[in-house]
């Protein structure tokens, strides 16, 4: 008999429905994927692995013999906060397609800033016909904070598009063609030299509020920030001050402390802020289902569990 893999999710009904169609197809011949609500008591007890997407933690707890969970998202700070430390191992989604999609977003929004689009949009509203000096990518530096699966791909893509690239990570890194920095001094150097600063790191105890008043005031005059990571990594009051009084020229924000961004937020109407509804790199169901099927197939074949999140490190 084929094993049953629970699908535990409190995502939106549309999202759940899409996964309920894609996952059984991808895992065909490997396991039967069943929504948590449809499991029998025996199936709950027998489950060793579950697929999760914004799960109700009580439902995960109702699977007493789980060894690991496969998340359908790349960011796992919520799961880490909600599942007990001695609970199942957490495996996040790492999909090369997501790195490709994210690096495309980094390129798109860096070019948006590099070509001065916010200024030209504002000029059009005021019917102002005025050109501004055009710099070449070779004269611009992109700073990428976080050099993991997504950051490294974005750094290489920016390099391939002729930008200078500075990268920053927690531990020392070496990536061909990218000047890599780490540590506090490294962060201040990257902030001070970059025209465009791209955030691609996880939300952890260490990165929460990482960019506060001191860090933002160390940014290069007129530079811009692109946050594709998590909202709470930037201190919002400090960001607004850095936009209103300098040194920041613009912020492209895809992620927020509260999502959807409440209508009362000042960020919506700020002339120097571009608000995006968390769209820089959505999980692509077709490729992600294939990755999940591969991981679960290997587990049932030889017991291999993919690399799990390090609870102490926070990612
Ligand atoms: P990853 O492979 O785990 O890489 C994380 C990177 O961040 C690593 O380079 C890591 O340093 C660095 N880092 C972690 N803590 C740090 C710290 N305290 N100081 C400096 N650097 C630190 O993660 P990923 O797959 O690239 O994803 C990154 C994040 O992107 C996710 O956690 C998620 O929040 C976000 N994301 C957003 C979207 C969206 O649509 N907006 C989509 C997907 C993901 P080391 O290399 O030294 O370990």
Q: Which two tokens stand for residue 29?
A: 């011949």
Contact (Cβ atoms closer than 8 angstroms) between residue 211 and residue 239 = yes
Please name the residue whose Cα sits nearest to atom 15 of ligand 1: 170
Q: Is 230 a catalytic residue?
A: yes
pLDDT by residue (tens digit) across 236-261?
999 999 999 999 999 999 999 999 99
Which CATH superfamily groups domain 4-95+283-302? NAD(P)-binding Rossmann-like Domain (3.40.50.720)
Residue 126: band (very low, low, confident or very high) from pLDDT cuts 50, 70, 90: very high
Residue 117: band (very low, low, confident or very high) from pLDDT cuts 50, 70, 90: very high
Residue 25, phi-psi category: left (phi > 0), alpha (psi -120 to 50), beta (remainder): alpha
Instruction: Round to whole Å and give the CA distance between 199 and 232.
Output: 11
Active-site hit among 172, 259, 266, 313: 259
| 97-275: CATH, from 3.40.50.720, 2.60.120.10, 3.20.20.10, 1.10.1740.10 | 3.40.50.720
Torsions phi, psi for 4 (to 5 deg): -105, 130
Given this model, what pLDDT does residue 10 score? Answer: 95
Tally of CB atoms within 10 A around 17? 11
Helix, strand, or coil here: 13? helix
**DSSP state letters, 107-135:** HHHHHHHHTTHHHHHHHHHTT-----PPP
User: Which of 74, 186, 231 gets mutated to test ligand 1 (max ligand atoms within 8 A of its CB)?
Assistant: 74
Torsions phi, psi for 97 (to 5 deg): -65, -35
Interval between CA 75 and ligand 1 midpoint (Å): 8
Interval between CA 204 and ligand 1 midpoint (Å): 10
Active-site hit among 44, 170, 230, 250: 230
Q: Is 114 a catalytic residue?
A: no
Given this model, what pLDDT does residue 100 score? Answer: 98
Q: Is 43 a catalytic residue?
A: no
Helix, strand, or coil here: 235? coil
For the segment 98-122, the average pLDDT, to the nearest whole number, is 98
Instruction: Round to whole Å and give the CA distance between 169 and 40.
Output: 45
Given this model, what pLDDT does residue 55 score? Answer: 97
- Residue closest to 23 by CA, chosen among 298, 291, 289, 299: 289
Instruction: Round to whole Å and give the CA distance between 287 and 304.
Output: 21
Interval between CA 229 and ligand 1 midpoint (Å): 7
Could you state, in order of their start, the residue ranges of all structural domains in the chain?
A: 4-95+283-302, 97-275
Instruction: Round to whole Å and give the CA distance between 195 and 210.
Output: 19
> Percent of the chain, pLDDT > 70?
100
Residue 1: band (very low, low, confident or very high) from pLDDT cuts 50, 70, 90: confident
For the segment 107-136, the average pLDDT, to the nearest whole number, is 98
Please name the residue whose Cα sits nearest to atom 33 of ligand 1: 75
Residue 191: band (very low, low, confident or very high) from pLDDT cuts 50, 70, 90: very high
Q: Which residues of 121-158 are buried (b: 16+ CB within 10 A; e: fewer)?
A: eeeeeeeeeeeeeeeebeebbbbbbbbbbbbbbbbbbb
Mean pLDDT over all residues of the chain? 97
Burial class for 189, CB neighbours closer than 10 Å (0-12, 13-18, 19+): middle
CB within 6 Å of ligand 1 — which residues? Answer: 74-75, 98, 146-151, 169-171, 173, 200-204, 206-207, 228-230, 254-255, 278, 280-281, 315
Same fold flag, 4-95+283-302 and 97-275: yes
Given this model, what pLDDT does residue 39 score? Answer: 98
pLDDT at 220 over 90: yes
Burial class for 302, CB neighbours closer than 10 Å (0-12, 13-18, 19+): exposed
pLDDT by residue (tens digit) across 264-275?
999 999 999 999
Given this model, what pLDDT does residue 124 score? Answer: 98
Given this model, what pLDDT does residue 98 score? Answer: 97
What is the spatial order of strands in the sheet that 141-145 belongs to? Answer: 179-182, 164-169, 141-145, 196-199, 224-227, 250-253, 273-275
Helix, strand, or coil here: 219? coil
For the segment 151-170, the average pLDDT, to the nearest whole number, is 98
């Amino acid at each position: 008999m084929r094993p049953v893999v629970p699908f535990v999710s409190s995502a939106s009904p549309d999202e759940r429905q899409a996964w309920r169609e894609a996952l059984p197809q991808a895992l065909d011949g490997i396991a039967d994927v069943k929504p948590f609500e449809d499991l029998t008591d025996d199936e709950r007890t027998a489950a060793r692995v579950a697929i999760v997407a914004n799960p109700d933690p009580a439902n995960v707890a109702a699977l007493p013999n789980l060894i690991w969970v496969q998340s359908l998202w790349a960011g796992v700070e919520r799961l880490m906060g909600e599942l007990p430390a001695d609970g199942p191992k957490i495996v996040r989604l790492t999909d090369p397609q997501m790195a490709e999609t994210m690096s495309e977003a980094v390129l798109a929004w860096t070019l948006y800033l590099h070509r001065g689009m916010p200024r030209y949009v504002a000029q059009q509203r005021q019917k102002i016909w005025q050109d501004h000096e055009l710099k070449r990518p070779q004269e611009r530096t992109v700073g990428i904070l976080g050099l993991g699966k997504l950051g490294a791909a974005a750094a290489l893509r920016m390099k391939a598009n002729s930008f200078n690239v500075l990268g920053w990570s927690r531990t020392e890194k070496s990536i061909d063609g990218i000047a890599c920095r780490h540590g506090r001094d490294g962060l201040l150097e990257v902030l001070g030299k970059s025209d465009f600063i791209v955030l691609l790191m996880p939300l952890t105890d260490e990165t929460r509020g990482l960019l506060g008043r001191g860090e933002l005031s160390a940014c290069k005059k007129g530079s811009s920030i692109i946050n594709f990571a998590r909202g709470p990594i930037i201190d919002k009051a400090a960001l607004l001050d850095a936009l209103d009084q300098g040194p920041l020229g613009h912020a492209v924000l895809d992620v927020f402390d509260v999502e959807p961004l409440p209508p009362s937020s000042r960020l919506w109407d700020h002339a120097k802020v571009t608000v995006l509804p968390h769209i820089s790199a959505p999980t692509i169901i077709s490729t992600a289902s294939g990755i999940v099927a591969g991981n679960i197939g290997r587990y049932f074949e030889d017991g291999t569990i993919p690399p799990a999140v390090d609870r102490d490190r926070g990612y």
